[in-house]
Chain A
Amino acid sequence: MSVSRPFTRQQRTTVIHGMLAFVLILVLLQLWLLTATMNSYLGGDDSVIWPAAGASVLCLLLNVGLLRYLYHLDRARR
């Protein structure tokens, strides 16, 4: 029978570093999406607006999922 042990603090810090790297990349991607969409909108091209909004929502859901896992890590420690 295996015993589930909570992560040590050092392990949690490593995990959060990885999550931060991922979140930063996603946020940069969302920033690019916003600027590209604004550029298209100002140029009268509305074909990219909804696909870009969908992609941005997907990035947000990934970020929120990672944040939820972070809360789970903290709860498990306590």
Chain B
Amino acid sequence: MTDDIRLEAGTNDARASIDVRIDTPGREGLTGTAPADLFKPLQEAEHITIAPDWQPMDRQPAWRTDFPIDWPQDHYVERRDFMKFMVLTSLALTVGQFWIAYRNWWRRWRGEPEIQRVATLAEVPVGSVRTFTYPGPQDDCVLVRTGEHAFVAYSQKCTHLSCAVRPRVAEGVIHCPCHEGYFDLGSGRPVAGPPRRPLPLVRLQIRGDQIYAIGVEERTV
């Protein structure tokens, strides 16, 4: 094709330098009239992020750099924000550790609970169960008389998810109906089901015909 656009002499038109022939070197395959190097990228391909207003990225507002249009940049921003979130989670877990330390300090500062009368010997026949609260009104406990001179008492809160446990004296176990957990009646240790820690043991003292609770022993095994 040899059709050239000839402009009048003296015309100050940028198109005057454009060679519209499409068979010139470097322009093979192009169908327009623009020279081949007009669309040469100004930077590396992976760095091109095109904003809607066509301005350079360093002139864009912060929100536009945080929500870029091209996917590689979007992926980078996603992972960067996820990493920030993970560091926040790390901070929260550390705060949790110090919260446990504070609770432990408060437990130590509170000290041993007061001695409390639970029942008389006559009120608890052999093989029977009696509930009481110790050391506070929200701390439900169970007292079981397993023999003529044998008593055991535990917190009634299951160590799995705090359901109320029920002693089965005849079977020698303490049963948690929520998730079928079982504790040994004599030791309070878990023998079946999801619980992993023994029931807190309530220490008892017999004074005459009175049964007193004198403390709570929490155990890990």
A-B interaction: yes
Q: Which residues of A contact B (CB under 8 A)?
A: 8-10, 12-13, 16-17, 19-20, 23-24, 26-27, 30-31, 33-34, 37-46, 49-50, 52-53, 56-57, 59-60, 63-64, 66-67, 70, 74, 78
Which of these binds chain A: B78-86, B126-134, B167-175?
Answer: B78-86
B94 in complex: contacting residue of A13, A46, A57, A70, CB < 8 Å? A57
Take A23-B86, A52-B97, A56-B97 as given contacts and tell me if A13 and B75 are in contact as well, using a CB distance cutoff of 8 Å: yes
B76 CB–A CB distance under 8 Å: yes
B97 in complex: contacting residue of A8, A33, A70, CB < 8 Å? A33
Query: Nearest chain A CB to B103's CB is how many angstroms away?
Result: 7
A10 proximity list for chain B (CB < 8 A): 46, 72
Query: Nearest chain B CB to A18's CB is how many angstroms away?
Result: 11
Query: Are B76 and A56 neighbours in the complex by a CB distance under 8 Å?
Result: no
Which of these binds chain A: B5-13, B178-186, B213-221?
Answer: B213-221
A34 in complex: contacting residue of B46, B72, B96, B200, CB < 8 Å? B96
Query: Are B76 and A9 neighbours in the complex by a CB distance under 8 Å?
Result: yes
Take A57-B94, A60-B90, A70-B83 as given contacts and tell me if A39 and B47 are in contact as well, using a CB distance cutoff of 8 Å: no
Query: Nearest chain B CB to A7's CB is how many angstroms away?
Result: 11
Query: Are B218 and A43 neighbours in the complex by a CB distance under 8 Å?
Result: yes
B3 CB–A CB distance under 8 Å: no
Distance between Cα atoms of A60 and B89 in the complex (Å): 9
A17 proximity list for chain B (CB < 8 A): 79
**A-B pairs with beta carbons under 8 Å apart, 5 shown:** A8-B44, A41-B104, A44-B217, A53-B98, A59-B94
Query: Are B101 and A27 neighbours in the complex by a CB distance under 8 Å?
Result: no
B83 in complex: contacting residue of A20, A39, A40, CB < 8 Å? A20
Closest to A13 in B: B76
Query: Nearest chain A CB to B65's CB is how many angstroms away?
Result: 9
Take A8-B46, A41-B100, A78-B58 as given contacts and tell me if A60 and B80 are in contact as well, using a CB distance cutoff of 8 Å: no
Distance between Cα atoms of A4 and B165 in the complex (Å): 68
Distance between Cα atoms of A64 and B72 in the complex (Å): 25
Take A37-B100, A42-B197 as given contacts and tell me if A13 and B219 are in contact as well, using a CB distance cutoff of 8 Å: no
Query: Are A20 and B44 neighbours in the complex by a CB distance under 8 Å?
Result: no
Query: Nearest chain A CB to B174's CB is how many angstroms away?
Result: 17
B91 CB–A CB distance under 8 Å: yes
Query: Nearest chain B CB to A13's CB is how many angstroms away?
Result: 5
B96 proximity list for chain A (CB < 8 A): 34
A60 proximity list for chain B (CB < 8 A): 90-91, 93-94
Take A9-B46, A67-B84 as given contacts and tell me if A43 and B93 are in contact as well, using a CB distance cutoff of 8 Å: no
Cβ proximity bits B96-128 to A, threshold 8 Å, 1 near / 0 not: 111011011000100000000000000000000
